Chains A and B, each alone.
Chain A
Amino acid sequence: MGSMLGDWPSFDPHNFSQLRPSDPSSPSRMTPTTYHPTHSRTLPPPDQVITTEAKNILLRHIYQRTEEKDLRPKRAATENLIPEHGCKQPRASPY
């Protein structure tokens, strides 16, 4: 069989008989696409190391709640002040 499957066994010898392999003499027009970034804004910092957080999410959640409670009195004092940047919004408590 001159198909590109070569001598591989098949249930039906007529399977894949219609398939014409590409002409090996002509160069393939298909080149795999390569992505070239147009900017370097999303490059990671050169010393970045990605590791798994050791603390499990339950404890992370508990620590976050504790920190929120600690920050609360500080935030209460700044509520009356005019924010410097218009885009900054006070963070609503999730609960």
Chain B
Amino acid sequence: MFRRSNIAARIFQRQIYTPAPGTSVHCARRFYENLVPSCTIFDVECPDQSFCKFTDDGQYLICFSRNQQDLIVYRPTWLSFSCKGEDCDAFDLPPKAKRFESFFTQLYSVSLASSNALICKDFFLYMEGNHYGIFATSTAPIHEPPAAGGAIQGIPYIEKITFHLIRLEDGLVLDEKILLNDFVNLTHNMGVFLYDDLLAIVSLHNQTIHILQIRDSGNLVNVRTIGEFCHEDDELFLNSNAQCLAFPDKSKLHRLPGNNVQNGLQHSQPNLEDSFLTGIKQRLLSFIFQGIWNEEKDHTLRVQCLKKKFYYHFRDYAELIIWRVQFLDRHHLLIKFGSVDGGVLRNADHHPAFFAVYNMETTDIIAFYQNSPEELYLLFEQFCDHFHAASRNSLSMNFVSSHSNNIHALEKLRCVKNKASSSSQGMRTSLICGSFGHMSVALSHNLISHHLRTSAVCEENAGLFFALQLSVTESFSLF
């Protein structure tokens, strides 16, 4: 149906015509085609603060004080003035238009960080439903941590990280979560993922995923901790069995190698950290093993396959560390594994990455993608919307075009992919193309888009892999 673009006609139509169910937000947004920014005001004197960002719904402007210890929140009130007369365009804006206070009203200033801690300026999560904001304060990172048992070498550690849950309407600090002697990648929310009311925090040092729930009452509740143990009662089970290991049955003594017997008698509990892999690692290795085992029916072939694909790479698999985590739904996590080097780097695309889908309820690994971008790329091409979990409840998200729900966007993506694949000559190339530029703040970043860029994976006869990365950025317009 022909849609009129005249604003008066549109307003009239809005009066008499009910939009299709669920599209009222979209209809309201169409008015931005008529109301466009037509004026820029320069040299506005702003308070001496660092401006962080607007919340997704535009209700608050988040700022931090210069000393990075206070949170200051403004309400955008926006300027309004009217002119009476025929030639309104000739009117200049009133002098109050040049003032910061005409546009924003300060709601409050809250001190978050104590004397030796600073607010992390790049970290902010917003819960649209309750108007809750999550901020992080931390002490200075120490780059040469003491080699504590189980801790990862090469990753800095922070003495104290505090996550603050704040009600943005009035600045009330509702709850806090403190992590000591740990490291969470707070830059651009990389180490944390918010899904509805669930928060996943990746502790790189302890290789643990903390799952917290943000209750409506404003409490941060620990739901589960995944890492060393997967089920809630794993620790109890292992500890109770460790007691038995410490005192082996005398009749079985001859079966144990000499040093184990000695250890068993000298220590009351065997050193679990040395003998056991963490729970999540166990699950991952078992899944890989089962996958290779099920591929072949013939026993000899099976063993050969295992030797080649599993045991040869066992050390590499065992040394994988959790980099990042994302929710796929309330029970499933997408975990990105990699080597120690890439853990803290933002641009870790040069390092091989492994993705696993983990079911938190059954503690099973469902799928594992071993740096094979084709399969993962196909998933991302078809189900891109399901990787963007953060703004699921936002009304406007129903109308965001992505290459999974829009054939034109998909066509464009495939064009870029084909162009890039035809550009390399003389080598057999399999191209994995994902050009995902900066999406708006309404979509939180996700693991896959950071991992996939336009790249050409070239396989020479000697079986060497090397990747050329061409970064192609695309901008998606949402409005």
Contacts and interface: CB of A to CB of B under 8 A. Distances in A.
A56 B329 CA distance: 8
B248 interface: no
A58 interface: yes
B329 A73 contact: no
B366 A73 contact: no
Interface stretch (A10-18, A30-38, A60-68): A60-68
A63 B366 CA distance: 7
B367 A66 contact: yes
Interface string A45-79: 00000000001111101110110011011001100
B383 interface: yes
B386 A57 contact: yes
Contacts of B357: 59, 62
Contacts of B366: 59, 62-63, 66
Contacts of B387: 58
Contacts of B296: 73
Nearest to B287: A66
A19 B52 CA distance: 67
Chain A facing B: main interface SS: helix
Contacts of B297: 73, 76-77
Interface residues of B, number: 18
A57 B367 CA distance: 15
B329 A55 contact: yes
A59 B294 contact: no
A59 B328 contact: yes
Contacts of A66: 366-367
Interface in B214-229: none
A62 B386 contact: no
B332 interface: yes
B291 interface: yes
B386 A56 contact: yes
19 contacts: A55-B329, A56-B328, A57-B383, A58-B383, A58-B386, A59-B328, A59-B329, A59-B366, A61-B379, A61-B383, A62-B367, A66-B366, A66-B367, A72-B294, A73-B295, A73-B296, A76-B297, A95-B375, A95-B378
